[in-house]
Amino acid sequence: MTLLLFSLLIFLSLIQWAVFIDVILSWGTLIGWHFRPKFIQAITLPLYETVRRFIPSSFSGIDFAPIIVFIAIELITKILIAFDPNILEYLSR
């Protein structure tokens, strides 16, 4: 059970990093720099599209989908840690 939780937490952490990198790289479009790796988009776009089905895609030019995905991953992480609080010992190594 601990190995499964640990694996899920690592997976969720990688997705969070992908969302973070995607957000940072999206700011490059403001200066005319259009570089967003396809593997990052392959991870993040399906998540964003799922969120965009329930909320408007943007409000005043701000896309809230990455923020909602990031918060959802954080909540799922907290719930998983609540199942086995000792998992934090493995994460701190």
Domain of 35 in residue numbering reads as 2-91
* Res. 2: pLDDT tops 70: yes
Tell me which of 26 and 11 has the higher pLDDT. 11
Instruction: Identify the residue with better confidence: 2 or 64.
Output: 64
Question: Which residue has better confidence, 5 or 1?
Answer: 5
pTM of the model: 0.83
Q: Compute the distance between CA of residue 50 and CA of residue 61 in angstroms, rounded to an integer.
A: 19
Q: What are the pLDDT digits (tens) for 26-60?
A: 888 777 777 888 999 999 999 999 998 988 766 77
Query: How many domains would you assign to the chain?
Result: 1
82 three-class SS: helix
Six-digit token string for 55: 């909320």
- The mean pLDDT value for 65-91 works out to 87
> How far apart are alpha carbons 78 and 93 in whole angstroms?
19
